[in-house]
Amino acid sequence: MNPSPAVTAPVQQGGVQDVAAAARRVVDAIVRAGDAIAAQSGDLATALHGVADRIDLAAPPLAERMTTMWLPVDSRLHNPVNGLENPLAPPLEITEGADGDVAGSVTLGLPYQGPPGHVHGGISALLLDHVLGLANIRAGNSGMTARLALTYHRPLPLFEELSVTGRQASVDGRKIHATGTISADGHVAVSAEGLFVRPRAEPGR
Amino acid sequence: MNPSPAVTAPVQQGGVQDVAAAARRVVDAIVRAGDAIAAQSGDLATALHGVADRIDLAAPPLAERMTTMWLPVDSRLHNPVNGLENPLAPPLEITEGADGDVAGSVTLGLPYQGPPGHVHGGISALLLDHVLGLANIRAGNSGMTARLALTYHRPLPLFEELSVTGRQASVDGRKIHATGTISADGHVAVSAEGLFVRPRAEPGR
């Protein structure tokens, strides 16, 4: 079953997604290099500021961007988890979603590290909060996170494919419960329970 | 009271921190520009791949980096929250830390967005998990996150200075409790309670 277009966006060759992917490579390389680039840091920083300057020149005013980025075509592209146009997003790839579940896979490198060789506990929380939210969107009842409880069962390795799942558990009026997991090598490493509250009225934007 | 050197690293002019700061500008600009850079995406991606290639050439083998990045001088620089050499880190700036507390401030832009104009709930979780961990390190008893419970009291705005606090609440054998908050404009928007478990033996690296 294909992912719902409400929760994920198609991968495009070319365009902004390519720029974001290249920026992701830069981020990863910087953390992998560390002090090894100290001697050429001036040149590298200048090159990156040059790219940022070029992008700034093209960027619309912030108020305009805050509107257009929430149009249906763009709203799945800029978030920090599976947003293909956001270099912070690893990105999580939504791979399937049977029975209303949302499932995804991701392999995380050094920028996402917490303990040596393992994923930062807060990054696991970020992935799970987002996937629980996507499961709610997919189920047609979504809201803002009110409570999120994470249990860390075992360390989550870097450099290995991780499976992330989310599903809506129940809806009670405006209160929505969802659960999810992150697994490595078939073992659940982190699990989450979330309470989300649907706004009284949909936002106008 | 100055931050403990165990939890934060000095800001340096020049060096890798400048490269990371420039990469942060690129990340922010990409998310602010969106489709406005579609027409020049090929050129921009090529420029960024060029920078990544240069850094890759200088980077040590991964196994070597995995060792050196955990030496005391580097170990506070590469994490995704206050790591000045990690472009994913906003970075959170540790501003004070009286009575063993850890306090920090940060202003978040579009790459960290969840709901329109507001911080992604998972980013709040990332900041709090990390600051609770820093509070434990500062208190001299630290461990891996076992449970983290977040309560979202109100939406947290982008583009405004946020205050983050963490403190160790109690230690019971290997079990460590810590709490923390994120506030905007003097109001607590997100609070966290964490249970951390000290390893039976310190890792050998």
**Residue ranges of domains in chain B, CATH in brackets:** 1-205 (3.10.129.10)
Q: Given pLDDT bands bounded at 50, 70 and 90, which one contains residue B168? A: very high
Chain A residues whose beta carbon lies within 8 Å of the beta carbon of residue B42: 14, 18
What is the separation, in whole angstroms, between the first and last Cα of chain B? 30
pLDDT range class, residue B5, cuts 50, 70, 90: low
CA–CA min distance B62, chain A (Å): 7
- Which pLDDT does position B201 carry in this prediction? 67
- Residue A2 Cα, gap to closest chain B Cα (Å): 24
Lowest mean pLDDT: which of B4-18, B38-52, B135-149? B4-18
Instruction: Give me the mean pLDDT over the A143-147 stretch.
Output: 93
Report the distance separating Cα B133 and Cα A38, nearest Å. 29
Closest of B162, B146, B142 to residue B154, by C-alpha: B162
Q: What tens digit of pLDDT does each residue of B92-144 get?
A: 998 867 777 999 999 999 999 999 999 999 999 999 999 999 999 999 888 89
- Residue A10 pLDDT: 72
Neighbours of A149 (CB within 10 A): 16
pLDDT for the residue numbered A2? 47
CA–CA dist B102, B87 (Å, integer):
22
pLDDT value of residue A203: 53
Which chain B residue has its CA at the smallest distance from A25's CA? B52
Give B172's strand partners: B175
- Separation CA A115–CA B197 (nearest Å): 13
Please report which residue ranges of chain A form alpha helices under DSSP H: 16-33, 41-58, 62-68, 121-139
- Interchain contact, A40 vs B58, CB within 8 Å: yes
> Which percentage of chain B shows pLDDT scores above 90?
79
Using CB atoms within 10 A of its CB, is residue A173 exposed (0-12), middle (13-18) or buried (19+)?
Answer: exposed
Which one-letter amino acid corresponds to residue A37? I
Find the residue in A nearest to B86 (Cα): A31
Average pLDDT over residues A105-133: 97
| pLDDT band for position A5 (cuts 50, 70, 90) | low
Q: What is the ipTM of this complex?
A: 0.94
Measured CA to CA, the distance from residue A111 to residue A183 in angstroms comes to 20
Asked whether A78 and B53 are in contact (CB, 8 A), the reply is no
A26-33 average pLDDT score: 98
- The helix or strand, by DSSP H or E, that contains position B49, with its residue range, turns out to be helix B41-58
What pLDDT score was predicted for residue A37? 97
Q: Choose, out of A66, A70, A81, A126, the residue to mutate when testing the contact with B (most B CBs < 10 Å).
A: A126
Of A19, A69, A155, the CB nearest to B41: A19
Distance from CA of B6 to the nearest CA of A (A): 15
Place of tokens 């890792």: B203
pLDDT of A204 over the 50 cut: no
pLDDT band at A6 (very low <50, low <70, confident <90, very high): low
Model confidence at A155: pLDDT above 90: yes
- Across B155-192, b (16+ Cβ under 10 Å) vs e yields bbbbeeebbbbbbbeebeeeebbbbbbbbbeeeebbbb
Type of residue found at B87: P
Cβ within 8 Å of B, A 180-199 = none
Instruction: Kindly list the residues from chain B whose CB atom is less than 8 angstroms away from the CB atom of residue A182.
Output: none
Average pLDDT for residues B140-157, to the nearest whole number? 95
Distance (Å) from the C-alpha of residue A146 to the closest C-alpha of chain B?
5
Contacts with A85 from chain B: Cβ below 8 Å: 30-31, 34
Mean pLDDT of chain B, nearest integer: 92
